[in-house]
Amino acid sequence: MIKSEEPHRLCRDELIRLDGDVAGTVVSCRKGVLWLTQTGNPGDHLIREGEAFSIDRPGAVLVSALEESLYTVSGGKRNLLVTAWPFLSAIPRMARLFEAAKRSLLA
């Protein structure tokens, strides 16, 4: 479980999942760029160095680093579970490669 103002590192394309009672939790980006998506939330969010995202509803949240990043998780309830998903960290990279290939084919 990660829950403090102590910064944690995410390498590019690394992914974590926030589970449990996430409403009221704040994810802050101390360095880099983070991509967040949440179950039941139709939009994705990018947060850059110095920015924060306040989670206002229940539902699992995925956080991925678009470049090497430092982040903190604070606020919210005590039963928040943060898990690293190293086996999924290749998905954002694969999506970027697919988009680049598609652009070159259409050019």
pLDDT, tens digit, 9 for 90 and up, residues 76-95? 765 555 666 555 556 666 67
pTM of whole model > 0.95?
A: no
Given a contact cutoff of 8 angstroms between Cβ atoms, the answer to whether 61 and 38 are in contact is: yes
Q: E strands within the chain?
A: 4-10, 15-19, 25-31, 33-38, 45-48, 52-54, 61-65, 69-75, 81-84
* pLDDT tens figures, 5-27: 688 999 888 888 888 888 889 99
Query: 19 in the Ramachandran plot: left (φ > 0), alpha (ψ -120 to 50) or beta?
Result: beta
